[in-house]
Chains A and B, each alone.
Chain A
Amino acid sequence: MNQAEVSKLISQLRITMRPNKRHLKNSEGPEGRLLKLRKTVTALVKHERIELFYNRADEARGYAELLISNAIRYGDRHKATMELADYWLLEKQLVHKLFKVLVPRYENFSSSYTRMLKAPRDYPGIYYKKSVLEFRGNPFPALVPDYTQNRNLLHNVLLDEARKEFRREQLAKMANKFAAETAAPPALATQENDAGN
């Protein structure tokens, strides 16, 4: 039951995060691990879509997300953020890209800034899982086709027809009700007439 650290304020990640870090087998220890991840983050910022082993991509993803969210939160006049960008981006021209391209792109995003997809592994090859890590809104053609917009898919056709039929029924019901209301007074009148007779 440790106290949460309060000196720093960090925006919530929009991705699911593992509770523990992966060590990413490295003879240099934690520093070497970070160097590996720095290379990955740099490549991601540079190319916007990279294919790599799943574990490394999953680790680097959190860092890329936090780097962007920090850049959005503090801007480029904040010394600590600038140091952070300087550390994480090995190619220094990418610091400009971070603040001038990525920050404006993601300022009003409500979803995560990156997307990760599982990729097929080479056969025969190394048995590690592979994945594709990319920035949202990148200039490349989409990797996954969007099926949600196609109204002609079978379930969409069925649902559309069900909705139309429901509306028709509702309209018919309303029309019947209206007809009954307008028809009611004469019916009453005839009853009265009958009574009078």
Chain B
Amino acid sequence: MAAATKLYKKSLGFFAQIQQYRSNANYTAGASIRTRNELFNEEQRRQREAVGRIDKIEVRYLGLPEDVTLVMNSHISTPYNCAQHLSEGHCQRAVLALLDGSVPWDVHRPLQESCTLQLLNFNVSEPHVVNKAFWRTCSFMLGAALQRVFKEEAKLQLHSFPSPNIKSGSFVHDIVLGAQNWQPTKAEMRAISAEMVKLAAQDLRIERLEVDQELAKEMFKESHYKSEQLPSIAQQNQSRVTLYRLGEHIDISRGPMVASTRFLGKCTVSTAHKLTDEGPSNAFYRIQGVALPSGFMLNHFAYGLLEQRSQKLNSARLPNEPFEDQRQMQLS
């Protein structure tokens, strides 16, 4: 409970800060990101306050060192809080939670009702769920890295990222740039990779928030492509939209994602493929990369093979294909 109050205070402080910015808001990209964050914080605070009377739930933890039952707070306690009751090692290693043996659950997402809980990491015997979450997080982080790397003159707009497919050998983020014949150099790709590594080093917590369609529309009103996608996404999920935040970067994704950027180990953003022209001066690009979770050792020759393979154009659905088909990939 103490932790929750602390967070609340923190967010209040941040909120006050944002309020100041708002008074002299202009319509640059930075300002739109600030507004988006402010709305995110406000909604997060509102949801926390809406919990009202605190119900207790019983969480049955299965795993090492022994199976225990924890009494937690409904809609407040997260799997991370459960791990805090176990040990520091559990907190550091928990990548993803598995509820009732089947439902993957973000580590920082509040639990709703009594359930069994397993904490997963990358080394469990059946790591499909975790791997998928990791691949999705990589795409998401790539978006954040691109946002940080490109200057405003590049007119970068994030489009979307298709559902994670590890077997394709690369994670993907589709973007629109204000240049129709951008040939990325090695140094440029390396700069993006370095940004990914920086993100990983910052150990940023990845937050999840479910919001109404209207709020999401307001948050993404500056982003042409996102607001285009929103209605169909909301339609799938009873007019609710799931948002993820990493630092200041917010994106739409169905989740789940890993707990923190810390879990990204070796990472290479290998290529940018031009897909099609968009309008008179813009063009679609598909940025691809390959990554391994932290703690996975792979010799540089084998990793070189993976890097080579990740340079081939990923066959996931293209962003300029009909929107009805695309909905599914966005909802991954």
Contact = CB atoms under 8 A, between A and B. Distances in A.
Contact of B306 (A147, A153, A159): A159
A165 B126 CA distance: 23
Nearest to A147: B123
A157 interface: yes
Interface string A126-160: 00000000000000000001010010111101110
A162 B128 CA distance: 18
A96 to B, nearest CB: 37
Contact of B292 (A150, A152, A154, A165): A154
A161 interface: yes
B298 A155 contact: yes
B128 A145 contact: no
A154 B296 contact: yes
Given A147-B123, A158-B306, A152 B169 contact: no
B167 A161 contact: yes
B169 A162 contact: yes
A162 B131 CA distance: 17
Contact of A150 (B125, B290, B305, B309): B125
B123 A157 contact: no
A154 B302 contact: no
A159 to B, nearest CB: 6
Interface residues of A, number: 13
Interface in B267-326: 290, 292-293, 296, 298, 302, 305-306, 309
A2 B169 CA distance: 58
Contact of A157 (B126, B131, B302): B131
A154 B265 CA distance: 12
A77 B85 CA distance: 59
B123 A162 contact: no
A152 B127 contact: yes
How many chain B residues sit at the interface, stated as a range, is 20 to 34
A151 to B, nearest CB: 10
Contact of A152 (B128, B290, B296): B128
Q: Which of A152, A158, A161 has the most CB of B within 10 A?
A: A158
B131 A154 contact: yes
A189 B152 CA distance: 62
B134 interface: yes
A32 B108 CA distance: 56
Contact of A153 (B122, B168, B290): B122
A159 B131 contact: no
Contacts of A162: 169, 305-306, 309
A180 B183 CA distance: 35
Contacts of B131: 152-154, 157
B265 to A, nearest CB: 10
Contacts of A155: 292, 296, 298, 302, 306
A154 B127 contact: yes
A154 B166 contact: yes
A150 B123 CA distance: 9
Given A161-B169, A162-B169, A165-B309, A153 B123 contact: yes
Contact of B167 (A145, A147, A153, A157): A157
A108 B166 CA distance: 41
Nearest to B132: A154
A147 B131 CA distance: 15
Nearest to B170: A158
Contact of B127 (A153, A159, A161, A165): A153
A22 B270 CA distance: 51
A145 B309 CA distance: 30
Interface string B102-135: 0000000000000000000011011110010010
A75 B275 CA distance: 73
Contacts of A165: 169, 309
Interface string A150-183: 1011110111011001000000000000000000
Contacts of A152: 125-128, 131
A145 B64 CA distance: 13
A155 B267 CA distance: 12
Nearest to B123: A147
A145 B123 contact: yes
A156 to B, nearest CB: 10
12 contacts: A150-B127, A152-B126, A153-B122, A153-B123, A153-B127, A155-B302, A159-B305, A161-B166, A161-B167, A161-B168, A162-B309, A165-B309
Given A155-B292, A157-B166, A158-B290, 10 more contacts: A150-B125, A154-B122, A154-B292, A154-B296, A158-B166, A158-B306, A158-B309, A159-B306, A161-B167, A162-B309
Smallest CB-CB A-B distances: 4 pairs: A161-B167, A154-B131, A162-B309, A155-B298
